[in-house]
């Protein structure tokens, strides 16, 4: 129907608008639009644009909304948001990310969290220390 075509067209326009806002530096507007749009693909695409611009907090947020857990964790690590990394860590599959988190927790004296992350990373010797 015409309404469905119009809605689909409007959605495509908003996707383009979100990308354009991010590319021209209107980060907040672009992220707001991308967040409101359904679907994970646009969120991931905008997060990658933000990552290229080194806009780590916004990239992390969109990666998380897109359920790109490894990318979200890396972005949160870049801004040292260990609480958010810890929140999404159960979804992260890359051992290197678990290792990075473990080292950060260990340096802060949070040995229980560090040990669990080292074990998840397969770094048994570090977990034992």
Alpha-carbon distance of 126 to 12, in angstroms, equals 49
For residue 59, which of 83, 84, 38 has the smallest C-alpha distance? 84
Q: What is the pLDDT of residue 2?
A: 79
- Model confidence at 8, pLDDT cuts 50, 70, 90, reads confident
Determine if the pTM surpasses 0.75.
yes
In this predicted structure, the answer to whether residue 129 has a pLDDT above a threshold of 80 is no
Cα separations (Å) of 98 from 27, 81, 87, 103, 106?
A: 29, 14, 12, 9, 12
Residue pLDDT, tens place only, 25-68? 999 999 999 999 999 999 999 999 999 999 999 999 999 999 99
pLDDT at position 5 over 90: no
Confidence at residue 73, expressed as pLDDT on a 0 to 100 scale: 98
Tokens of 110: 């949070």
Region 106-125: mean pLDDT is 91
Dump pLDDT digits (tens) for 64-104.
999 999 999 999 999 999 999 999 999 999 999 999 999 99
The more confidently predicted of residues 12 and 1 is 12
């Amino acid at each position: 129907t015409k309404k469905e075509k119009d809605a689909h067209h409007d959605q495509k326009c908003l996707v383009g608008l979100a990308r354009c806002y991010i590319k021209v530096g209107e980060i907040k507007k672009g992220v707001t639009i991308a967040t409101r749009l359904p679907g994970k693909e646009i969120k991931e695409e905008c997060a990658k644009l933000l990552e290229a611009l080194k806009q780590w907090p916004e990239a992390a947020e969109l990666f998380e909304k897109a359920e790109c857990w490894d990318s979200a964790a890396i972005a949160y690590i870049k801004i040292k948001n260990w609480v958010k990394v810890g929140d999404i860590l159960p979804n992260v599959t890359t051992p290197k990310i678990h290792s990075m988190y473990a080292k950060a927790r260990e340096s802060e004296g949070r040995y229980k969290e560090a040990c669990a992350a080292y074990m998840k990373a397969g770094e048994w010797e570090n977990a034992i220390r």
